[in-house]
Structure 1
Amino acid sequence: MITMRARLRRHSIACVVFLELLWLPWQLAAQDVPGVTGLPELTMPIDNPLSPAKVALGRELFFDKRMSRNGAISCASCHQPERGYADGLRVSKGIDGRLGTRNTPSLLNVAFNQTQFWDGRRADLEAQALDPLFNPREHGLQDVQALLDVVRQDADYVAAFQNAFPIAENGITDQHVRQALACFERTLVAGDAPFDRYFFGGERLAISDAAVRGLAIFQGAARCTTCHVISNSNALFTDNRFHSLSVGLRPIASRLAEITRKLMNNKTNANQLGQTILRDEEIAELGRFVVTYNPADIGKFRTPSLRNVAHTAPYMHDGSVPTLDDAVEQELYYRSVEAGRPLILTAGEKSDLVEFLRSLSSYTWPD
């Protein structure tokens, strides 16, 4: 059996984590993490504050392939550090090569999301953390006991959990796993991009002239900030709301009544809902509706952040848009429909807009 300690000796994990903050004694008792340039301060949940021990444990769990039915899939299989904690595929690929229906979102800055998953079906990282582990198209673990068997039978894990949480040797629960994973994911913070140094730091030469022109278009003619928000003090580049770009919805528009009935006739809990979404492409296209059952939410998906967007292709909830240039075209089409009039940019203006989007990159890519 490959133990936790053996894996730690065998490889080092490269990721964007600001662990130097975590080692400050005052930080361990605080509920707010000082902001990185361009990002707001990060508020920690009172019932799961960060600690170095929890972050280190969560990181080990994140990269452990034993957290799957066949020992071949870890969280990092889809959320790869070298791809900005995404995977570069159109849709996720899980256990035994099974494909899902949704594009794998980057986990960079996931701590700032007000809901989790493309449809917002989970409220926070703790609630979301274990869903993929029990989804037959992702990690495929049979049940909570299968997960607990892995960690309770590894002496190094037992010691790490006892170091991170005030528990007895046999007291490890799935809630502890949730909290450790969530703590690690909250450290995946990427700000201080060239854009941030230009816009918030006053460094006039931090971005190119083309990117400056692209920023003006982004805030002006293209109306991008309607959803990808920039404030005076920070920029998450998301409004954390749900919108419909009609991506993937048009082919099934004539059958929406049938598809919504199919969902509503098969009442599911939150765990079963995730399985249904990754199995049924048509239900997956219903977007936020699968959570709210509000007809106005059909086809709506959470606005993703644009930070590091140049490195996380393909785009949209279904991965159907292959390049950043294509994504700009798709967004311009949506803005035109929303405004009720054509939104036309020249080839040069589109190029400037893409150059601006590239200035949002700040993640250091591991070799």
Structure 2
Amino acid sequence: MKRSAFSLSSFRRKPESSVPDISWRSVIVAILVVGSLLNRSEAEAPYKLTLPLGLQEEAAYIPPDNPLTPEKIELGRQLYFDGRLSADGTVSCATCHASDQGFSDGRPTSIGIKGQVGERNAPVTFNRLFSQEQFWDGRSASLEDQALKPIENPIEMGNTLDHMVSTLSAIKGYRKQFKQVFGTTVNATGVAKAIAAFERSLVCGNSAFDRYEDGDDNALSESEQRGLELFREKGNCVRCHTGFAFTDERYHNIGVGFDKPNPDLGRYNVTKKESDKGAFKTPTLRNIAASAPYFHDGSAKTLEDVVEFYDKGGIKNPNLSNEIKRLLLTVPEQGDLVAFLKSLSCPELQVAVPALPK
């Protein structure tokens, strides 16, 4: 019997009758291209994106001025892996968001150009199809805007957009693809759109949890099933890690870093609202076992450390979220919760490194 999936608007299971009949194989999303908004090269045909089990097509967001096409996604894949976007050719998007590291980099905080160390942990780049505001503090309103920020960041890629465009324009393969995809010469807007399109194609689903929710009683072990119950009930993890994406896309202060001098104030640096001090965006939990370490500062080395942090009620500070309270989980319960989190893995999500244009 199929179980109902999480709803973005509810933390309880829906009645069985309200669950759509979703194939375990995939959901085909027709991305409609509005020809009047696009140039001819972008408006040739709709593109069908295949979503794995557990993801919801109605929650997908693709801006009308950046529809998906196979050619644009492939261009974005090449740009994502190309270190030539950085000032000295050494740092690419994939440097800090690598598929073999859960689309993060395995470091507490990322290392950029000339070995400079950043201040925050690299967030994952998959399932961005369902997310608009980007970065831990939400300072970018779109994936397209986010795509250019690391290029100009002096610690990350250390480049300027003009220099990046000049570098890419000297590469015949990129000139040809920009003409084909956008009908233009190489430009920063096209770079941003292509990378965003590629990242929207990175989708993580069909986990053991998804198969269990779809009716496969053997998909989760007994420990994982107990962990799921703890996740929904005693742990109240669904209060923030809700919906099929396991995130409310909102910002919360859970106390990370407030046991140190000068903690990162997160969302406050964007909004200047007192209530946003120390608040960071809720990350997705999908594929979480592959992207250690955790939290915005990478201070939790393991999932066990994460669960223990929450079990203790975070770190006290004036803006600690009202949702953060001691959980009083037993050691076996903590183990079960970790087991459930590992069931959210999607090992099928792998991306081959492309041959780069010359």
Partners in 2 of 1:312 and 1:160 — Cα distance?
A: 32
Gaps of 5+ in 2: 1-26, 34-42, 317-321, 353-358
187 and 339 in structure 1: CA distance in 2 versus 1, 3 angstrom threshold: closer
- Correspondence for 1:130: 148
Partners in 2 of 1:157 and 1:340 — Cα distance?
A: 49
24 and 246 in structure 1: CA distance in 2 versus 1, 3 angstrom threshold: closer
Q: Write the mapping of 1:307-322 to structure 2, written as runs, cut at 5 A.
A: 307-322=286-301
Q: CA RMSD in A?
A: 2.6
Matched, 1:206 2:222: no
- Correspondence for 1:356: 340
Query: Which deviates more from structure 2 when the two are superposed, residues 21-30 or residues 181-190?
Result: 21-30
SS at match of 2:260: helix
- Correspondence for 1:102: 120
Gaps of 5+ in 1: 1-19, 253-281
- Correspondence for 1:178: 192
Among candidates 208, 213, 221, match of residue 194 of structure 1: 208
Q: Write the mapping of 1:1-367 to structure 2, written as runs, cut at 5 A.
A: 33=49, 35-41=51-57, 42-141=60-159, 143-167=160-184, 171-199=185-213, 201-230=214-243, 235-252=244-261, 282=262, 285-334=264-313, 338=322, 342-364=326-348
- Correspondence for 1:15: none
CA shift for structure 1 position 109:
1.1
34 and 340 in structure 1: CA distance in 2 versus 1, 3 angstrom threshold: closer
Partners in 1 of 2:31 and 2:327 — Cα distance?
A: 50
CA shift for structure 1 position 249:
2.2
353 and 363 in structure 1: CA distance in 2 versus 1, 3 angstrom threshold: same
How does the TM-score come out when normalised to structure 1? 0.79
CA shift for structure 1 position 30:
5.1
- Correspondence for 1:273: none
Partners in 1 of 2:336 and 2:186 — Cα distance?
A: 52
CA shift for structure 1 position 110:
2.2
Partners in 2 of 1:301 and 1:357 — Cα distance?
A: 20
Q: Which amino acid aligns with 2:206?
A: D
Partners in 2 of 1:325 and 1:120 — Cα distance?
A: 27
Q: Which has the higher helix share?
A: 1
Q: Does the 8 A contact of 1:222 with 1:335 survive in 2?
A: no
CA shift for structure 1 position 173:
1.7
- Correspondence for 2:17: none
CA shift for structure 1 position 363:
2.9
SS at match of 2:164: helix
Q: Percent identity?
A: 41
SS at match of 2:312: helix
24 and 131 in structure 1: CA distance in 2 versus 1, 3 angstrom threshold: closer
How does the TM-score come out when normalised to structure 2? 0.81
Segments of 4+ moved more than 6 angstroms = 20-28
Q: Which amino acid aligns with 1:154?
A: I
Partners in 2 of 1:25 and 1:113 — Cα distance?
A: 19
